[in-house]
A and B are shown apart, each in its own frame.
Chain A
Amino acid sequence: MTGKQSGLSARFIVGGYDLSGDISALDSISGGVALLDVTDITQSAHSRITGQRDGSMGFSVYMDTSNAHPVLSALPSSDTLMTFLVPPLAIGSVSANLNAKQVGYDPTRNADGSLMMKVQGQGNEYGLEWCEQITPGLRSDTGATNGATQDDGGGFATPSFPATTVPVTNTSPLPATVVISGGTVGTVTINGASAGSGDGTYTVPPGQTIAVTYTGSPSWTWTLQTAYGAQAYLSVTAFTGTSVTVAVQDSADGSTWAAVTGLTFTAATAAPYTQRLATANNATLRRYVRAVTTGTFSAATFTAGINRNMAQGAAF
């Protein structure tokens, strides 16, 4: 779906429990970095640098002794993973994830007779992360499964080699590694600025152009990938069996897959189960991603999301 969308059919998972049916509203989701004021006496406007990340989620929940109450009334002191699955519940849709401390489970009995609880989650160790769903909301597997493919390249196809000096735009959402070979290649420009000359490897950021001055018949290959690592979240809400291992795999072509180093979750032996993982922030993540399950089980219901870092030095 394109265009604006509603919040109908959203899901909210708390600590591996699907409490969606008991939650009346998400009151707030916030995140980002704090700003530190470093204005000196020579400046006539505020100067600011970024500080630490943070995040919080707040929601209103009905009293339900068969579902939400036993989960939230425990007021755990340990971390709890809060995941907001933004509709439509599909591969590539958005989710918000927060490794949080639950703060409060505070009831209000209103004059209209309603009984509502307010719950807040404050981030711990990591800030709020906006991810893409690599499961369509909650996915139910009945055995080892290779999940559906998410193309983070947005369907991009390698463009044909243009005439000399004619720019070609990287219309994909990912940086492209362009390898030029053959012909007699002169200056190569990226977004109008010289990036070198001759055959070789060039990086074209999303939305930018590459133009090649040449004679003869050079060719090129385009590879979409990021090189700044990623983080992933898992919530297992139901499980029957011995264990299930969820792993994130990536692929350059959508057909040959490999597990992403650092993004294989610890085997879950019971539900609820949650985990956050992160790769090194200089790790390569190729264009296509998917969630696969292995293990001995007859039923596993879970949701997973991945946050692909798009900039160098990303740290959440």
Chain B
Amino acid sequence: MGNFDAAAVKALMAAVKTIPEKTGVFRSSVVFHEPVTAPAAVPSLALWLGPLESVPEVSGLSEVSGRIIVQGRIYATPAAKVSDKTEEQLMTWQSTLLGAFAGAFTLGGEAMAIDLLGLSGSKISAVPGYVTYDGAVYRVSEVSVPIILDSLWSESP
């Protein structure tokens, strides 16, 4: 990958979004922005941009490589409907999602790698929790997908 320009960004985001869509789990929706309203149906998945920063471990003498963390949230169910089954389902959805990213860790060649094991210090993860939307509490899982990108920018004095 050369400079991380608009075309590269577009291709990367499309490649990232395709992975959860292909799992078939989030049939309700997969969106690439953080919603401000409650999901229309569950389970659903929202992805949005997290920090973009350089990664010295994979940068060269004249090129900067970096990591962008794609944040995400799996919306499982309203908290009022949480049951033992909900937890089982959420665990399954988390595993399916992370497994799908592990199974396509170069995103079809768009990235050097999804950081599965913490090469850049931050590794892929999913952390269950609760969020409030429109006065309703939802059982969710906060997903973090660090993506290592090769040669984002060229150095020049």
Residues on A facing B (Cβ under 8 Å): 1, 3-6, 8-9, 88
How far, in Å, is B65 (CB) from chain A's closest CB?
Answer: 7
Contact check, A6 vs B119: say whether CB atoms are below 8 A apart: yes
Contact check, B105 vs A5: say whether CB atoms are below 8 A apart: no
Contact check, B109 vs A6: say whether CB atoms are below 8 A apart: no
A3 and B58 CA atoms in complex are apart in Å by 11
Contacts of A88 in B (CB 8 A): 106
Contacts of B45 in A (CB 8 A): none
Contact check, A3 vs B148: say whether CB atoms are below 8 A apart: no
Chain B residue with the shortest CB-CB distance to A4 = B150
A4 and B1 CA atoms in complex are apart in Å by 9
Contact check, B151 vs A5: say whether CB atoms are below 8 A apart: no
Count of chain B residues near A, Cβ 8 A: 15
Contact check, A1 vs B65: say whether CB atoms are below 8 A apart: no
Q: Please tell me which one of the listed residues B1, B58, B105, B109 contacts residue A9 in the complex, with CB atoms under 8 A apart.
A: B105
Contact check, B106 vs A1: say whether CB atoms are below 8 A apart: yes
Contact check, A3 vs B150: say whether CB atoms are below 8 A apart: yes
Known contacts being A9-B105, A88-B106, is A4 close to B119, with CB within 8 Å?
Answer: no
Residue B117 at the chain A interface, CB threshold 8 Å: yes
Contacts of B117 in A (CB 8 A): 8
Chain A residue with the shortest CB-CB distance to B2 = A3
Contacts of A3 in B (CB 8 A): 1, 112, 150-151
A9 and B102 CA atoms in complex are apart in Å by 10
Residue with the highest number of chain B CB atoms closer than 10 Å, among A1, A4, A9, A88: A4
A8 and B104 CA atoms in complex are apart in Å by 11
Contact check, B105 vs A4: say whether CB atoms are below 8 A apart: no
A8 and B124 CA atoms in complex are apart in Å by 14
Residue with the highest number of chain B CB atoms closer than 10 Å, among A1, A3, A9: A3
Contact check, A8 vs B150: say whether CB atoms are below 8 A apart: no
Contacts of B150 in A (CB 8 A): 3-5
What are the 9 tightest A-B residue pairs by CB atom distance, in nearest-first order? A6-B113, A3-B150, A4-B150, A1-B109, A8-B105, A8-B113, A4-B112, A4-B58, A6-B112
A285 and B111 CA atoms in complex are apart in Å by 35
Residue B116 at the chain A interface, CB threshold 8 Å: yes
Chain B residue with the shortest CB-CB distance to A6 = B113
Contacts of A4 in B (CB 8 A): 58, 60, 65, 112, 150-151
A9 and B112 CA atoms in complex are apart in Å by 13
| 25 cross-chain CB contacts under 8 A | A1-B106, A1-B109, A3-B1, A3-B112, A3-B150, A3-B151, A4-B58, A4-B60, A4-B65, A4-B112, A4-B151, A5-B106, A5-B113, A5-B150, A6-B105, A6-B112, A6-B113, A6-B119, A6-B148, A8-B105, A8-B113, A8-B116, A8-B117, A9-B105, A88-B106
Q: Known pairs A4-B112, A6-B119; list 19 more (Cβ under 8 Å).
A: A1-B106, A1-B109, A3-B1, A4-B60, A4-B150, A4-B151, A5-B106, A5-B112, A5-B113, A5-B150, A6-B105, A6-B112, A6-B113, A6-B148, A8-B105, A8-B113, A8-B116, A8-B117, A88-B106
Chain B residue with the shortest CB-CB distance to A3 = B150
A88 and B107 CA atoms in complex are apart in Å by 13
A3 and B150 CA atoms in complex are apart in Å by 7
Contacts of B106 in A (CB 8 A): 1, 5, 88
A5 and B117 CA atoms in complex are apart in Å by 14
A4 and B150 CA atoms in complex are apart in Å by 6
Chain A residue with the shortest CB-CB distance to B115 = A6
Q: What does the 1/0 interface line of B35-76 toward A look like (CB < 8 Å)?
A: 000000000000000000000001010000100000000000
How far, in Å, is A24 (CB) from chain B's closest CB?
Answer: 10
Q: What does the 1/0 interface line of B106-141 toward A look like (CB < 8 Å)?
A: 100100110011010000000000000000000000
Contacts of B112 in A (CB 8 A): 3-6
A88 and B113 CA atoms in complex are apart in Å by 11
Contacts of B65 in A (CB 8 A): 4
A139 and B146 CA atoms in complex are apart in Å by 31
Contacts of A5 in B (CB 8 A): 106, 112-113, 150
A6 and B116 CA atoms in complex are apart in Å by 11
How far, in Å, is A93 (CB) from chain B's closest CB?
Answer: 13
A199 and B148 CA atoms in complex are apart in Å by 53
Contacts of B116 in A (CB 8 A): 8
How far, in Å, is B107 (CB) from chain A's closest CB?
Answer: 11
Contacts of A8 in B (CB 8 A): 105, 113, 116-117
Chain B residue with the shortest CB-CB distance to A5 = B112
